[in-house]
Structure 1
Amino acid sequence: MLHAQGFVCDANYQEENLSCEVCPEDRPLIGQFCANDPEVFVQAALLAQNYCDAIDLNPGCAQMTAKRGHHGAFLQDEWNPLQRIILLAHKKLSVPIMCKICVFPEIDKTVRYAQMLEKAGCQLLTVHGCTKEQKGPGRVQCPGSTLSLCGKLWPSLCLPILQDGIQILQDVERCIQDTGAQGVMSAEGNLHSSVPFEGRSPAVWKLADEYLDILWHHTLQVHQQLREELAKAKTLEGIAALSQELKMRCQKEISRQEGAKPPSHLPFRWICQPYVRPGPREGSKEKAGGRSKRALEVEECGTEVLSKNKQKQQLRNPHKTFDPSLKPKYAKCDQCGNPKGNRCVFSLCRGCCKRRAAKETADCPGHGLLFKIKLEKSLAWKGTQPELQEPQTATPHTPGGFSEVMSSALA
């Protein structure tokens, strides 16, 4: 996803993203932008349209950067700007315009939202079956939870629809069969494993023989001794030996669980699969009987333990203290609550002081603001300057006139 404003203004940003070599297998290639201004979005899209086969507007991004920039999913309640963006892009671009959206908690509102985008000119829609509030561990991992939405959304539209949120190969088959979507999309899942694009779910060690890297994540959560040995291995032969040992242990586990069903919608851990984020209450708290790691540290030591970040700060500055009672107290600005300047004549912070001093043409030496003095100096300087007089227009019969000048020049 590219930032439309930065793309328009920064030639280096354009070069980095437009000069990449693209192999034929990468086509059709979609250029995706985030934007909240129709003119800016179309300018960016016009720069990119000759390098791709379609342009995608992403009003479905729920990251904090989208919230700060007021784009992505934080525009989905403002239908007029989105409609203007799609209308203008549909009119100006020579390639199709498409959108990727999140859903609303209300199914009927999601249907109306999609219909609005289609009417404005959207030619393909990608739907992620989660709301903008469902991010991080709450992000929907598979399309199963959105079937009720799909049953109403798909028949109400004429444009092609892709279902997002795909993690594993079984999700693809189930999604197309149960939802009627024309295709599926995988984003975060294939960052960990792109194997589903090969149409198979191989055993981990088959790929580990080719590249012994990130594919061991799930299995090594169980065989942690091998994980420690892997970290100490210094040669390719040592890594290959560990791969064989891992294969033997997994095969024994397979023989013990033959015929059993996977514990969740994901296959057994020896099958290549994406990383699944732990929920907000899982992980170390679960292992510690509901207590966080930090709570256990305090319990063992009997005193408050500094975080790693604070320990680093204390190493750089041994005299630094983190006791809240010892922190200096600052008087607050009467208007905004920020710390006020100690020598401010208005008892305000710098920002509020600057606005008030400019409005009243006053000075605040404490903040270095001299609006009154600069105005007085400006007026005094203007008073010492001679008045400018209008130049007199010379007539042809007066000395120095145009005719006399030309005559003397010809002579």
Structure 2
Amino acid sequence: MVDNSELPFRMLCRRYGATAAYTPMLHSRIFSENEKHRSMEFTTCKEDRPLFVQFCANDPDILLQAAKIVEPYCDYVDINFGCPQRIARRGNYGAFLMDNLPLVKSLVQNLSANLYVPVSCKIRIFPRLEDTLAYAKMLEEAGASLVAVHGRTRDEKDGKKFRADWDAIKAVKDALRIPVLANGNIRHLDDVKDCLEHTGADGVLSAETLLENPALFAGFRTKEWKEDGDEDEVSGLDQADLVIEYLKLCEQYPVPWRMVRSHVHKMLGDWFKVHPEVREELNKQSKLTFEWLHDMVKRLKDLGGGIPLYRNKDALQTTSNGLAASNA
């Protein structure tokens, strides 16, 4: 989810029930060396809390240097040990550090010993449960104060093809004394309730689903996940409304246009299926402006065919049972 959890999007998710949020994954070496990169990739505000600042790293000293910069502005410094992408393989970070557990341990120990904010870790599971449990216990012993478990292995990249293993997450929760967050299979708020009940986790994370529906934690769901009983619970809210809110937040908290473009594509995905010609206009627009984007959304709404979000009243109490986090 690199580039997809910048400040305006975090603030939008918080408006709709996310009780904590992660920054995008920041490259510790580039972040510590390049001031211009820092100013573009990491922004926050006093309302942006609780906040996890997420780094990828493979050098304990460089990671500490980067973490010291953000320490005054966050509630956790998070080490991403879960990224399974090819860029992580090439850079030797993320889930590919599962092949070098002594290095993983040293990264956590160095931060834990030298920061005054707690250290958290996001991991994926091993194919064998005993390896996953040993891994999680090692992180706790090294000084991690919280572990977020993505219930898929490093090779299970496609969330629609591979279901997350909630049993493995439950086993980790049962084995540790520190808080454990569950990640995987969160498509709407009923999944939040089911995951908390199944795993006993202290909270849940959602990433990909939030890109299409940042209002997930407020009980809204897209047509893809609408249930028969939701027919009379049309919310009066749709993705186009969320885009308008997001654009206003971007005007308040400026971020690179590539991030804005990415979110607009995701949140308007259902609308673009009905009006692909408008999507093509967006793709051809080399230089975006807020005026152009607001006009595009207005034209979409005038054309009609938008898909409403639905709200299930029975699901609206589940976020009080745990931490609902925007993990993008």
Whether the TM-score (by the shorter chain) exceeds 0.5 is yes
- CA distance, structure 1, for counterparts of residue 156 and residue 61 of structure 2: 30
Q: Which residue pairs with 1:169 in the alignment?
A: 189
Q: 2:28: which partner in 1?
A: 4
Counterpart selection for 2:71 from 40, 49, 70: 49
> Are 1:217 and 2:269 matched, yes or no?
yes
Q: Distance in 1 between matches of 2:296 and 2:78?
A: 45
Counterpart pick for 2:169 among 122, 146, 150: 150
Equivalent position to 2:205, from 185, 192, 203: 185
Q: 1:235–1:218: structure 2 CA closer, same or farther, 3 Å change rule? A: closer
Instruction: Say whether residues 1:207 and 2:254 are aligned partners.
Output: no
Cα deviation 1:91-142 (Å, max 9, x = unaligned): 100100010001111011101100000000000000111111112xx23689
Given candidates 120, 126, 141, the residue that maps to 1:98 is 120
Note the alpha carbon deviations across 1:191-228, whole angstroms, 9 max, x for none: 2220113233374863267358765634764xx5x655
Q: Structure 1 residues 204 and 241 mapped into 2: Cα distance closer, same or farther (>3 Å)? A: farther
Task: Return the alpha-carbon distance in structure 2 between the equivalents of residues 43 and 216 of structure 1.
Answer: 39
AA aligned to 1:186 is: S
Is the 8 Å Cα contact of residues 129 and 140 (structure 1) preserved in structure 2? no
Describe the SS at the equivalent of 1:80: helix
* Bigger RCO (CA 8 Å, 6+ sep): 2
Alpha-carbon distance in 2 for matches of 1:15, 1:209: 29
- Report the CA distance shift for 1:151/1:239 in structure 2 as closer, same or farther (over 3 A): closer
Corresponding residue for 1:117?
Answer: 139
Match of 1:13 in 2: 37
Aligned partner of 2:150 in structure 1 is 128
Report how many residues are paired. 239
> Is the Cα–Cα contact under 8 Å of residues 130 and 140 in structure 1 kept in the other structure?
no
Partners of 1:134 and 1:140 within 8 A in 2: no
- Which residue pairs with 2:87 in the alignment? 65
Deviation at 1:236, TM superposition (A): 7.4
**What's the TM-score, normalizing by structure 1?**
0.52
Contact 1:5 1:35 in 2 (8 A): yes
Instruction: Give a deviation string over 1:362-391, Cα, whole Å, max 9, x none.
Output: xxxxxxxxxxxxxxxxxxxxxxxxxxxxxx
Give the Cα–Cα distance (whole angstroms) in 2 for the partners of residues 231 and 56 of structure 1: 38
Aligned to 1:107: 129
The alignment's C-alpha RMSD in Å is 3.0
Taking structure 1 as reference, are residues 231 and 206 closer, same or farther at Cα in structure 2, changes over 3 Å only? Answer: farther
User: Identity, % of aligned pairs?
Assistant: 33
CA contact (8 A) 1:60 1:72 kept: yes
Matches within 5 A, 1:347-366: none
State how 1:338-349 maps to structure 2 within 5 Å.
Answer: none
Structure 2 CA distance, aligned partners of 1:145 and 1:237? 38
* In structure 1, C-alpha distance between the alignment counterparts of 2:187 and 2:90, rounded to whole Å: 28
In the alignment, the residues of structure 2 paired with residue 76 and residue 230 of structure 1 have an alpha-carbon distance, to the nearest angstrom, of 40
More strand by share: 2
Within 2, Cα distance between the matches of 1:118 and 1:237? Answer: 50
Equivalent-residue separation in structure 1 for 2:32 and 2:280 (angstroms): 45
Look up the equivalent residue of 1:217 and give its one-letter code: G
CA distance 1:220–1:148, change in 2 (3 Å) = same
Please list every run of 5 or more consecutive structure 1 residues that lacks an aligned counterpart in the other structure. Answer: 255-411
Q: Given that residues 71 and 77 in structure 2 are in contact (C-alpha distance below 8 angstroms), is that contact kept between their aligned partners in structure 1? A: yes
For residues 54-77 of structure 1, the C-alpha deviation after alignment (integer angstroms, 9 at most, x for no partner) is 100111111111111101100012
For the residues of structure 2 that align with 1:61 and 1:72, how far apart are their CA atoms? Answer: 4
Aligned twin of 1:347: none
Secondary structure of the structure 2 residue equivalent to 1:159:
coil
Structure-2 residue corresponding to 1:22? 45
Q: Paired residue for 1:139?
A: 159
In the TM superposition, residue 240 of structure 1 has moved relative to its aligned partner by: 3.5
